[in-house]
Amino acid sequence: MKPEIPPTNGLALYFKDLNPFNHQQDLASCISALLNIPKPALTCSGTAALIIALETLKELYPQKTQVIIPAWTCPLVALAIEKIGLIPILCDLEKNHFKFDLHDLKQKNNISTLAIIVTHFAGLVYDLTDLKYIAQQHNTYLIEDAAQAMGAKYNHQSVGLQGDIAFFSLAFGKGLTSAEGGILFSIRPELQKKIHKKASKVPMLKDWEFKRSIELFGYTLLYRPSTLSWIYGHHLRKYLKENNEIAAVGDDFNQEDIPIHQLGKWRSHVAAHAANRLPEHWNQAHLQAKKRIEQLRKLPHLTIFDEESSTTATFPFILILAEHKKITDAILAALWTGGLGITKLFVRAIPDYPALKHLHSSVPNAIDFAERSFTITNSAWLDDQNFNKILKTIEMITLQYDLI
């Protein structure tokens, strides 16, 4: 079977990680020490962490019913908000960027706004300085969605310490994994206490835990180029052949896809054991990405998103915006099914997902960003030879666009 490079830089697990007798380290304490953050609550997913965060804030301000989110983000964010009876409010993006359009954000933040969810996309750090001022106008909370950015830093401190509450994801491909899992914490002692109390009351669902444990074993066995086609590449190509991009990238969610249960001890111990390898994993990913971003920047008609001053990114993948949708379409037509780790992060803006079409809103920049953006994996398995194939293909396409 043809090798398949994963679309993101997940941390591979070793079979020794699975041995429950080799380690009994507490994952929450491990992550707290590694990142120098308050000891987090553990959840069954990043989405469950978000739900617990929002439920905590909702109890404090039951009259506030709205949550502002970027109009280009994971559809699970909007679904999670609706699952607990709150209303997602879509904020458009800044033109040619994934940051909020601040004018739109100011208009949509009001006395009914419970929280603004800020996303650290692609392992890059969002500076919350401007957002804090906007949030303060109506006592709105800031939640940092750092699902893609564990290990990233702002002013030499972990992401998640700028806002009021933050969470990481332990889903496949996010870096460290426990076959779904979440890390939830707050720098505010009163909120930290409340989220821990709420997380501790979540039930243990044995069927879900068994399912996730099997998936974690399968990840350990199959997460490598020689076997990844079985669990990823085959399905990707099948759905793309059917012109179903949403299913191809795994964005075909509904509220039934959001179980709420405890993270099992065995899975948390596996993640804790593997976490010892994270610093080196992040360092190698950073070095590789910086080198490749410089190469990509030489190509015309592309914007390559890089870390900003005072930040350090983890780069699970490299996020790119083409000057025109035709360029992105041509690049994906040439590379998406080639097993080289090329894909789209989110294929649609939020109101363009069938399950969320009722959230129709005027968000032209988000729709445009969804159409023109794509990603290149930063997996260590994408060697220089294969990266150069990608580079040459993209160069050929972008140079041809000059001739149109």
Torsions phi, psi of 345, nearest 5?
-70, -60
Residues 218-234: tens digit of each pLDDT: 999 999 999 999 999 99
Task: Please report, as a single letter, which amino acid is at residue 278.
Answer: L
The strand order across the sheet containing 311-312 reads 157-158, 153-154, 311-312
CATH class assigned to 1-404:
alpha beta
Are 27 and 42 a contacting pair, CB within 8 Å? yes
Coil, helix or strand at residue 83: helix
Does 174 qualify as catalytic in the annotation?
yes
The closest alpha carbon to 392, from 340, 318, 319, belongs to: 340
Count of all residues that appear for the chain in the document:
404
The full set of domain ranges for the chain reads 1-404
- Give the list of residues 6+ apart from residue 296 with CB closer than 8 angstroms, or none: 302, 304, 318, 320, 376, 391, 394
Measured between alpha carbons, how far is 211 from 264 in angstroms, rounded to an integer? Answer: 11
- Residue 255's pLDDT is what? 80
- Residue 21's pLDDT is what? 67
- Residue 23's pLDDT is what? 63
- Residue 257's pLDDT is what? 79
Which segments in the chain show pLDDT lower than 70?
Answer: 1, 21-24, 403-404
Q: Which of 83, 174, 198, 344 is catalytic?
A: 174
Residues 282-310: tens digit of each pLDDT: 999 999 999 999 999 999 999 999 999 99
